[in-house]
Amino acid sequence: MFGFAVSGVSREGGRIGRISTSHGEVSTPAFMPVGTYGTVKGLTPAQLGECGVEMVLANAYHLSLRPGVEAIAALGGIHAFMGWHGPILTDSGGYQIFSLSGHVRVDEEGAEFRSPVDGALHRFTPESVVRIEEALGVDIAMMFDVVTGDPGDRRAASGAAARTLRWAKRTRVAIEPDGPAFFGIVQGGLFEDLRADNAGALTELGFDGYAVGGLSVGEESAATLEAARFSVGLLPADRPRYMMGMGTPLDLIELSGQGYDLFDCVLPTRNARNGTLFTSTGPLSIRNADHATDAGPLDPECDCYTCRGFSRGYLHHLTKRKEMLASSLCSLHNVHFYQRLMAKIRAAISEDRYGDFKAEFKNKYLGDSQ
């Protein structure tokens, strides 16, 4: 079961909608916390729900290596395995294969690599990745794509887009009709013509949704945002539009206004583990000494469990002592901040005041750094 409907559009182009799956619905635009190994680090499924999370992201590549698809299937599938009974989207592993660099051989058939877990030789193909994601029992699955490390290199970007398209065709043939929804991934680097051609051909294949991939891999931020801007208009209006791997609060503000529906990023939990916390007046480092005797909450405007119950001074103490509770409380706050931001974005789009909301948020968040 999969469906998507748009219920409102702002004058700037942002839109609100709803994704329907057999494990529940997701209000869009939505941010998915990253649970690569079947867990969002430091948080229980109950805590994720209390933060307002409706869908999480896991990674088929990592889960297939450890504990393995067979183990997860024996434990009832990925929802039972994780104890998360809402929708789950899995990335296919294209980026992870790219990140293996000299330890992987990519050819027209697929990618061959040695597991960083035990050194065993593996081969991923578009068809085998479909089987992995179907066996996991996820709600939304990403196709196996080709990522280039230099989106500004036209030859590399063209090659990645062309091979991704050929793999997309094989993916469509391999998909079982009663399995998860599958999203195609548009490649083409920083080049509008390459992305336009790739998006047009992918659209003809009839995927359930479409993602923009191959960005935010080292290029300048301005170039990334410009590529995101022209890419969104290349995607079908009646399908979810997913911007992969971009997720600072300012990214979410900007890209939601352009018409993207889904986002993911490791920033909320990774930054939390390092003591960097998001607040309505900008990010702060709780490790800084000036928080040591601060009795106030992280963010007076936040109603999360962390802000309701603990002072900056206490969180500073936990972080400096490297206590496990520090990562948990800080992650809970950051994930809650992101979910609350997405709720505000949806409300602003619904009430057609997105432009004003964006300006007010940026003014307060950036403050004197503007």
pLDDT at 308: 98
pLDDT at 98: 75
Both tokens assigned to 284: 């702060």
Q: Is 38 left (phi over 0), alpha (psi -120 to 50) or beta?
A: left
Element (H, E) at 57: strand 56-59
User: Using DSSP, how many helices (H) and how many strands (E) does the chain show?
Assistant: 15, 16
Distance of CA 197 to the CA centre of its chain: 24
Catalytic residue ranges: 91, 264
pLDDT at 102: 72
Which domains, from first to last, does the chain contain? Answer: 2-265 (3.20.20.105), 266-370 (no CATH)
pTM check: above 0.95 = yes
To which residue do tokens 């297939």 refer? 64
pLDDT at 313: 98
Give 271-300 pLDDT, tens digit per residue. 999 999 999 999 999 999 999 999 999 999
pLDDT at 37: 97
Distance of CA 12 to the CA centre of its chain: 23
Give pLDDT < 50 ranges for the chain.
none
pLDDT at 128: 98
